[in-house]
Each structure stands twice: as structure tokens, then as C-alpha cells.
Structure 1
Amino acid sequence: MITNQWRAIAQDIIYVICGVLFCGFALKGFLIPNHFFDGGVTGIALLIHEIYNFNIAYVIVLANLPLIVMGAFQVNAKFAWKTLGCVILLGICLLYVPYPPITSDKLLVSIFGGVFMGLGVGLSMRGGCALDGIEVLALYTLKRSSFTISEIILGINIVIFLIAAIHLGLPTALYSILTYYTASRTISFVIEGLEEYTAVNIISSKSVVIKDRLVNEMGKGITVYKGERGFLQGSFDVSHPVDIVFTVVTRFEVRRLKSLVRDIDPQAFVYTNTIKEVAGGVLKKRAREH
């Protein structure tokens, strides 16, 4: 047990250090030399740096401090302390690590600046903390408004990019939106990984064969719901009992599963939906997240 705990702590530290280094590389190698922005608190810090010429290392730490305090109440104290250490480490990295400017090509800066920023933020989240506290602010606002977290984050970022457009021009703001989008997609990839899970529900008159092949051929765990099928127009009072088969697969296995079901029953009704997080059951163990 103690060995597993130390292994988990070491893994978190590696994630955080790698995340900080990637973020520092994105900022000093791509975004800052080309006056580009990102969304969230990092975007606010970059905007203050560009307008008032304050040192970005200090601005990022100070901009995150209120949200770290808020995170202690919204999440927990452990998360807040880990995030504080992570943000301070990023500030030190920006002060002392001599990252060289990589390119001045605007498209390359937008794409690869976003990719490395997303890698950094995603890895720090896997380590149990946050290099950008915008989600904490959104969570705080969520409890005091009727907006969703996504709408709140979108609204904050719209304000950031509008200010950037006014002070630094529309082209820079548009390229920065591309940076933010690339970073967001990379964060999702880092957190969810290649094995993003998909829930599959199958309704078929040949459910016995389908269940057998799912378990014995694909090695999947299944859950069976008891339902009824029928209720058609013109014969609404006619129905039949049916097993509704539920299973969870990776997105790479969806096509194979659908092909298997189609071979057994071309008339089977199959519907899927994406699962953001899974644990337990007969699933392959994934990387630890906070």
C-alpha cells in the first residue's frame, strides 16, 4: 500500500513537472515572442503583460492566486496547495529557463503554441492540479447563475479576445482563438487519451447470441436490462419482452462491435453515447487522474 502511494505521488510530480515545462515552452517559445494569447487565466495574464509590460512570470502567479483560494473552497485544500505549487513552479520556469523563440509564422505559432500549452495544462491536470484556474471560477459562478460551466468559460474568453482585438488588432485575436481551440482539443486528448470510452445499447430479438459473442469473443462485460418491444402504429397493443444489452467499449472498438451485431441481426437497434470518465468493472485500467 505504501509503495503504491509513493508511486502515485512520484507519478503526480512527473506529470506536474512535465506540464510546467511544456507550458513554459509554449509561452516563451511561441506565444509571448509573437504577442499571441490563450484563453482563461493564462490569456488574462498574457493580456496584462502585453498592455502594461509586466513580467509574465509574476503576472501568471498573481492572476491565479484568487482562483487558488477559491479552489480551496470549491474543490479541497489539497487541490489548492498542489495548484499553488504548480503555478509557482511555472513562474520560476518562466524566469529562469532560457526557452528560445521557435518561429514567427503566425499559423505555426497558433497551432503548435496551442498544442504545447494543451499538453502542459493536460499533464498538470493528470497530476491533480491546474495551471489555469478558469474552471474554478466557472464552478464558483455556476452556483450563482443559471449558466452552464461551458457557457461561463466561453463568456470569459469572449471578453478576453475582444479586449485583445481592440488593443492588438483583429488578426492577432483571431489567431489567438485558434491557439485556444488547439489547446482545448489537446487538453481533452491528454486527459481522455486514445481510449475514450463509448457506451453502447443494443436492442435485438437475437440478444442471446449477441451477449455470447460480446462476452466470449470481444471479452466485454455486459449489463442486461429487461424491456419490451413492439408498440407499433396499428398494433400498439402488441409487444414482446426483450433484453436490452448495455456494454462499454473504446472508440476504436465501436466499428467492430457494430459489425458483429449487424452480422447477427441486421435489424438490431444500436445507439451509442460518449462517456467522459469510467472506473471499475471489466475495464482496462487507465492512467490515474485527480
Structure 2
Amino acid sequence: MQILTTSVPSVIKDTIYIIAGILFCSFALKGFLMPNQFLDGGVTGMSLLIHEYTHINITYAIILTNIPFVVLSAFQVSRHFAVKTMACIVGLSISLYFFNFEVAHIADDKLLAAIFGGVFMGIGIGLAMRGGCALDGIEVLALYTLKRSSFTISEIILGINVIIFLIAALFSGLATALYSVLTYYTASRTISFVIEGLEEYTGVTIISGKSEEIKEQLVMKLGRGITIYKGERGFLRDSFHISQPADIIFTIITRLEVRRLRNLVHEIDEKAFVFTNTIKEAAGGVLKKRARH
């Protein structure tokens, strides 16, 4: 009973994410991309290619192109994910069939259509991913290829998209292909923003001779948890054999807090060594819990 109680809100939230994602993608396709013959990357781009050059209805093209990747996802990810993704894709096709999104004045401006088409497409795909499914199966193909080649997932996806945009350049002209690249780039950046949000985490490492003061300020003033590594600092060129123990401070903050932390450390020790790195996934500890899919 407890498991059922905790899972119902999660299912409702996932369903809302997926429905919103489907509507955003439909709006992007019907309102911006298709009227201007722009493409997106991945399987959506393949579907648009088939629609443009064979005149197959986009609703059928999306389902047909995604079926192989959905089947593949059942083996590469899970059957539950495959079923959920297939339902999501069918929902997108139904939305495209029944809803006629028209943005007459905006769609006439190709630059705005490329940018905002990518934004709405990215929002839709990102929301669907937060709901636990995929509106584009390109990552599944990349994951499958990764296990059988020495290329990374990013390289595989890039290679597939280069082929799609080259075909667009050959048949629709270079201008259309370049607008499509802009759409894809905008969509990919928006997807990252939707999934990670404004609170994308940043790991900060601080090495300073005044570590005690910095530790106190980070915890008491900034309100952050810290982890201390025991190390040594020194080993300079003119005094290589001279070193001293040092507390190496590590903490995780949001990217909105990076400037404040740097200023705080600089006020205590101008010579402190501070470097940051992006944290893609963080949970537990004193961090605020956020859903990840």
C-alpha cells in the first residue's frame, strides 16, 4: 500500500510532463518547422525528411521512423521505457493529426521560426524526458552503436545529424540546411536547460592557506555543506622540496552562486586557488532533492 501511495503522484507528474512535451513539440513542428521546411536533428529530422521528399503524412512518418528505435530501446534500456516511449510517440502523432497550430506572422520570418521552433521543440523533448520517455530515439541508436564502436555517444549523434543536414543542403538548399542547424542547436541547448534547470550544480575546489576562515564562511554565511580533503600545498619551482599540510575544500553550489562564492573567498585570501567543474547529477547530503529521469 505504501509503494502504491508514493507512486501515484509520480505517475501523475510524469503524465503531465509527457502531455505538455507532446503539445510543445506539436506546436514547434506545425507552427514553425514544417511551414518553412526546416529540419531538426535525430529521428525527428529523419521523419521530416521523409515527409518533405516522399509526401507521407508527418503523423505516419514519425511513427514509422521511431518504431525501430523503440524496439531497440526495449533491449538497450528496458521494456517499460520502450512501451512508455511508444505511447508518447503515438500521442505526438495524434496531436499533429488533430491540432492545427498556425503562427502566421512569426513563421514568415525564417530566423525567428528557426530559433523559436528550436526552443519549443527543446522544451517539448526536455519535458518528455523528465516524464521518463523519449520523443526522439537517436540516443538509443547512439547507445547501441557505442557498444560496437570506439566512438562516443556525442560523436555518433553528431555524425548522424551531419548526414541529415547534408541531405537537406542537397535537396532544399544551403540556406534551409543552415536554418535547420540553428534549430537543432537551439533545441539541444533548451533540452539541457529544461532537464538541468537554473540550478545546475557546480563543484568548487578551494586550496588556501586560510582554509579555516574559508570553511567557516562557506558553512555559516553561504549555508553550504563542505568536504575536506587532506593534502599538501607548495612544490613551487624555486622551492620544490618545501611543502606544508593543507585542507582542500570541496563544495557543491548552483551556478547562480558561483560569483558570490568567488567574492567571498577573494575577500579572505586573494591568492586562494579556486577552480570549478560542472556537476551533471547530484543528490543526497544537504542538497535539495530534484527529480531526474
TM-score range, shorter chain: over 0.9
Matched, 1:191 2:198: no
3-state SS, counterpart of residue 281 of structure 1: coil
| CA positional deviation for 1:72 | 1.2
Matched, 1:51 2:53: yes
* Partner AA of 1:150 in structure 2: S
Matched, 1:161 2:162: no
3-state SS, counterpart of residue 12 of structure 1: helix
3-state SS, counterpart of residue 178 of structure 1: helix
The CA deviation string for residues 46-86 of structure 1, in whole angstroms up to 9 with x for no partner, is 00100000000011011111111111111111111110110
What are the within-5 Å matches in structure 2 for residues 66-85 of structure 1?
A: 66-85=68-87
Does the 8 Å CA contact 1:142/1:149 hold for their aligned counterparts? Answer: yes
| CA positional deviation for 1:99 | 1.6
The count of residues paired between Structure 1 and Structure 2 equals 289
- 2:23 maps to which residue? 21
3-state SS, counterpart of residue 285 of structure 1: coil
Matched, 1:143 2:152: no
The CA deviation string for residues 67-126 of structure 1, in whole angstroms up to 9 with x for no partner, is 111111111111111101100100111111122244221101101110110010000000
3-state SS, counterpart of residue 226 of structure 1: strand
Identity of aligned residues (%): 66
* Partner AA of 2:135 in structure 1: L
- 2:92 maps to which residue? 90
- 2:243 maps to which residue? 239
Kindly report the root-mean-square deviation, in angstroms, between the aligned alpha carbons of the 2 structures.
Answer: 0.9
The whole-number CA distance in structure 2 between the counterparts of 1:22 and 1:222 is 40
What are the within-5 Å matches in structure 2 for residues 203-218 of structure 1?
A: 203-218=207-222
The whole-number CA distance in structure 2 between the counterparts of 1:34 and 1:229 is 59
The whole-number CA distance in structure 1 between the counterparts of 2:38 and 2:239 is 64
Matched, 1:260 2:264: yes
Which deviates more, 228-237 or 167-176?
228-237
- 2:292 maps to which residue? 289
The whole-number CA distance in structure 1 between the counterparts of 2:148 and 2:51 is 30
Instruction: Report the TM-score, using the length of structure 2 for normalisation.
Output: 0.97
* Partner AA of 2:22 in structure 1: V
Does the 8 Å CA contact 1:196/1:250 hold for their aligned counterparts? Answer: yes
Runs (4 or more) in structure 1 with deviation over 4 Å come to none
3-state SS, counterpart of residue 237 of structure 1: coil
The whole-number CA distance in structure 1 between the counterparts of 2:192 and 2:280 is 10
Does the 8 Å CA contact 1:19/1:119 hold for their aligned counterparts? Answer: yes
The CA deviation string for residues 151-200 of structure 1, in whole angstroms up to 9 with x for no partner, is 11000000000001111111110111101011011101100100011000
Matched, 1:275 2:279: yes
Does the 8 Å CA contact 1:127/1:289 hold for their aligned counterparts? Answer: no
Matched, 1:130 2:131: no
Does the 8 Å CA contact 1:18/1:123 hold for their aligned counterparts? Answer: yes
- 1:10 maps to which residue? 12
- 2:33 maps to which residue? 31
* Partner AA of 1:159 in structure 2: I
The whole-number CA distance in structure 2 between the counterparts of 1:260 and 1:94 is 52
- 2:175 maps to which residue? 171
